[in-house]
Amino acid sequence: MYTGMSPGDLMLLQFEVEQFLYTEARLLDDRRYAEWINLLTDDIHYWMPIRRTTVSSQTDMEFTEIGGMALFDDNLDFLKLRVAKLQASNAWAEEPPSRTRHTVTNVQILDIDDNGRIIVGCNFQLYRSRLECDEDCWIGSRKDWLQRDADGSFRLAGRHIFLDQTTILSQNMSNLF
């Protein structure tokens, strides 16, 4: 647990975590996918479950579980495929490329797991502008696992993405969250 940390150490960790998340978001928006892939651990799980409308007493069914269907359910190989595709110049959903903007807010260090990975919660807003006048906006929360490497830098070891939409109101989700 990180609760034993001094306020100063906590603030420093918060600062480092935020800057890491901003850098990572910037790489995606700048279409620097190769560098983005380098920020991931080999064992990353990148997952967006399907969300459903349920009554309040049955919200245990709100999200599909790991093992059920999902919108993203990627290991590093699948993420590399996605990135390779984005770079392929014939991935038509992104050719001409969209203009994306990943905004990360309400960043909170939630916990440190048994592997020493920092569990970070945040809100996200992914805005996409495409061709002349297509606009999409995806909003939700995320839970990220950050691994501290020997050189002090972070890599992303896990990302669970909880979109607030149920029916996806866009024609695809061809971007990374």
Partner 1 sequence: MQDLTNRDNLESLVFMENFGMYGNSHASCCFQVGATEDFVVRATDWVDHKSGKVDRRIFQTRDLSSGTGASICQVLLNTCPHRGNTVCRAELGQTKSFFCTYHGWNFDLDGKLIAVPGEETYYRGKLDKSRLGLEPAAQVESYKGFVFATLDRDAPALQDYLGWVGMVGLDLIAERGDMEVIDGIQKNRVQCNWKLAVDNLFDWYHPKVSHGSAARVGLLNEDELRYMNQMVILGEYGHAISGAAFDEQKLAEIKDAAAEGRELSGSDNARVWRTTQDALDAMGPVGVRCGGHPNIFPNLWVSAAGPPQLCLRIPRGPLATELWWFTFADRNQSAEERRAAVMIASHIFGPSGLLEQDDGENWSHSTRASTGTVTRRRPVDFSMGMGLDRVLSNNSGQSYIETVVNEHAQLWLYRSWNDWMSAANWRELIDNHSVVPTSTV
Q: Which residues bind partner 1 (CB under 8 A)?
A: 48-50, 52-55, 58, 60-61, 64-65, 67-74, 78, 81-82, 84-85, 88, 90-93, 95-96, 131-133, 166-174
Q: Which does 171 bind (CB under 5 to 8 A by kind): a second copy, partner 1, none?
A: partner 1
Sign of CA dihedral 136, 137, 142, 148: positive
Burial label for 36, CB within 10 Å (0-12, 13-18, 19+), is: buried
In angstroms, what is the minimal distance from the CB of 99 to partner 1? 12
Residue 23 to residue 120: CA distance in whole angstroms: 15
Q: Of the candidates 28, 79, 82, 100, which one interacts with a second copy according to CB under 8 A?
A: 100
Q: Of the candidates 55, 60, 114, 150, which one interacts with a second copy according to CB under 8 A?
A: 55
Sign of CA dihedral 161, 167, 169, 174: positive
169: part of which helix (H) or strand (E)?
A: none
Question: Omega into 96 within 30° of 0, i.e. cis?
Answer: yes
Q: Which does 117 bind (CB under 5 to 8 A by kind): partner 1, a second copy, none?
A: none
Q: Which does 125 bind (CB under 5 to 8 A by kind): partner 1, a second copy, none?
A: a second copy
Whose structure tokens read 């995806």? 138
Residue 107 interacts with a second copy (CB under 8 A): yes or no: yes
Q: Choose among 164, 144, 141: nearest CA to 154.
A: 144
Q: What is the binding site for a second copy (CB under 8 A)?
A: 7-8, 10-12, 14-15, 19, 22-23, 25-26, 29, 31, 51, 53-57, 59, 89, 94-97, 99-108, 121, 123, 125, 127-129, 131-133, 135, 139-141, 164-167, 169
